[in-house]
């Protein structure tokens, strides 16, 4: 079994602590994605699992083995980097088999493993080519193939699709999902792209400032976020947030034309509260309380950018091709039951 267990993992660079006591369990065969904005510590944490960064304190176990201070080569992991890091003078096949060759594996075994990886990644026709004669997507497949050939317990991906153009990213994303289904290995994948996280992960770990904000299945994070940060980070376009005021269990929201809604059970104090509504759960409605600033029509979906009576900005997602001209006055429609509530200070979810 090759699950992982991180216990109170801390990383300091000199006086600066960048990872603050991470506790995390990743199960055997799970696809776990570390996601968060730039600088949140996701690459550092991955590199600590890989053994490329020293762990300041805490413990990292892979398959019940304490590998906290083990050599990278002793951890049973293989890493795929954003920059493919292929040897330019070696063919695709030689690149993929190089690790095994260095470890003295027999030629026949290397050839069989390279052949199998090439089959999985549809690289059979390219085995004799040099990396420079490949597209970006093909090069990244070679880098993934090199990881597969090593037969690791855990695959580590560090933003592997960032260097590819939009179309190839989608293609490779599907291939990586397919690869996980086919070989069923434990995978940890770092990205700043919440769409990649949502589409690939069994389990998403949302990081901010070196802390875990929430861990959960993609739709759990989407439907039931623990705090405003996760609510705003997961989902595109991002959730709309409004200032509301609670008085005796009724929340009034000026940005929604003074609409009122029932306060959640855990909100007992009167005063400020943050209200969240997803763009797809809002619509243009009757009335003239809001102003359309801009509409984007993408064909199947349109986004309307509105200004509310209190100056707040609102995004509404529509599934028609209507485009009210900028400056049009409109009302707004939503179901108050769809609103989520957050503590105005701590940003914790109020349920």
Q: In angstroms, what is the minimal distance from the CB of 193 to ligand ADP?
A: 12
The answer to whether the bond into 237 is cis (omega within 30° of 0) is yes
Q: Pick the closer one to ligand ADP by CB: 126 or 189.
A: 189
**Count of CB atoms situated within 10 Å of the CB of 290:** 24
Q: Does 43 bind ligand ADP (CB under 6 A)?
A: yes
Q: Does 15 engage in binding with ligand ADP (CB under 6 A)?
A: no
* Nearer to ligand ADP (CB atom), residue 47 or residue 290: 47
Contact of 173 with 179, CB cutoff 8 Å? no
Is residue 29 a contact residue for ligand ADP (CB under 6 A)? no
Q: Stretches 35-43, 220-228, 246-254, 273-281: which one binds ligand ADP (CB under 6 A)?
A: 35-43
Q: 255 and 302 in contact (C-beta within 8 Å)? A: no
CB closer to ligand ADP out of 18 and 291: 18
- For the CB of residue 185, give the shortest distance to ligand ADP in the complex, in Å: 23
Which among 40-48, 164-172, 251-259, 320-328 is the span making contact with ligand ADP, rule CB under 6 A?
Answer: 40-48
Q: Considering the complex, what minimum distance in angstroms separates the CB of residue 117 from ligand ADP?
A: 27
Nearer to ligand ADP, 42 or 290 (CB): 42
- Residue 214 or 302 having the CB closest to ligand ADP: 214
Q: Which is it for strands 302-307 and 313-318: parallel, antiparallel or unpaired?
A: antiparallel
CB of 22 to ligand ADP, least distance (A): 12
What H or E segment, with its residue span, contains residue 182? helix 166-183
Calpha distance 35→229 (Å, rounded): 12
Coil/strand/helix, residue 199 = helix
Among 2, 4, 22, 42, binds ligand ADP (CB under 6 A): 42
83 binds ligand ADP (CB under 6 A): no
Query: Minimum distance from CB of 210 to ligand ADP (Å)?
Result: 7
Contacts 24+ apart (CB under 8 A), 247-255: 251/275, 251/341, 254/308, 254/309, 254/310, 254/312, 255/308, 255/309, 255/310, 255/312, 255/314
Among residues 2, 22, 26, 41, which is the contact residue for ligand ADP, using CB under 6 A? Answer: 41
Type and span of the H or E element at 45: helix 42-50
């Amino acid at each position: 079994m090759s699950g992982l267990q991180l216990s109170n993992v801390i990383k300091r660079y000199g006086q600066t602590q960048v990872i603050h006591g991470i506790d995390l369990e990743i199960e055997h065969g799970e696809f776990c994605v570390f996601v968060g904005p730039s600088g949140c510590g996701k690459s550092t944490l991955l590199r600590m699992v890989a053994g490329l960064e020293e762990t300041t304190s805490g413990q990292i176990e892979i398959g019940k083995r304490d590998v906290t201070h083990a050599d990278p080569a002793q951890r049973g992991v293989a890493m795929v980097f954003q920059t493919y890091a292929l040897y330019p003078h070696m063919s695709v096949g030689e690149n993929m088999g190089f690790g095994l060759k260095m470890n003295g594996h027999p030629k026949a075994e290397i050839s069989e493993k390279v052949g199998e990886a090439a089959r999985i990644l549809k690289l059979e026709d390219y085995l004799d080519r040099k990396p420079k004669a490949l597209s970006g997507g093909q090069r990244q497949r070679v880098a993934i193939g090199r990881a597969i050939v090593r037969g690791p317990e855990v695959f580590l991906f560090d933003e592997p699709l960032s260097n590819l153009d939009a179309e190839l990213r989608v293609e490779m994303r599907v291939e990586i999902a397919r690869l996980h289904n086919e070989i069923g290995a434990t995978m940890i994948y770092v990205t700043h792209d919440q769409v990649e996280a949502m589409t690939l992960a069994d389990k998403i770990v949302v990081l901010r400032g070196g802390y875990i904000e929430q861990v959960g299945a993609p739709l759990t994070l989407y439907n039931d976020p623990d705090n405003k940060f996760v609510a705003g980070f997961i989902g595109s376009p991002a959730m709309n947030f409004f200032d509301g005021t609670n008085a005796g269990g009724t929340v009034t929201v000026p940005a929604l034309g003074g609409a009122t809604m029932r306060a959640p059970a855990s909100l007992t104090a009167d005063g400020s509260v943050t209200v969240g509504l997803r763009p797809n759960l809002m619509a243009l409605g009757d009335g003239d309380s809001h102003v359309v600033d801009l509409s984007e029509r993408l064909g199947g979906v349109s986004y309307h950018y509105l200004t509310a009576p209190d100056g707040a900005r609102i995004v509404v997602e529509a599934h028609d091709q209507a485009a009210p001209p900028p400056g049009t006055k409109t009302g707004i429609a939503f179901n108050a039951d769809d609103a989520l509530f957050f503590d105005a200070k701590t940003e914790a979810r109020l349920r």
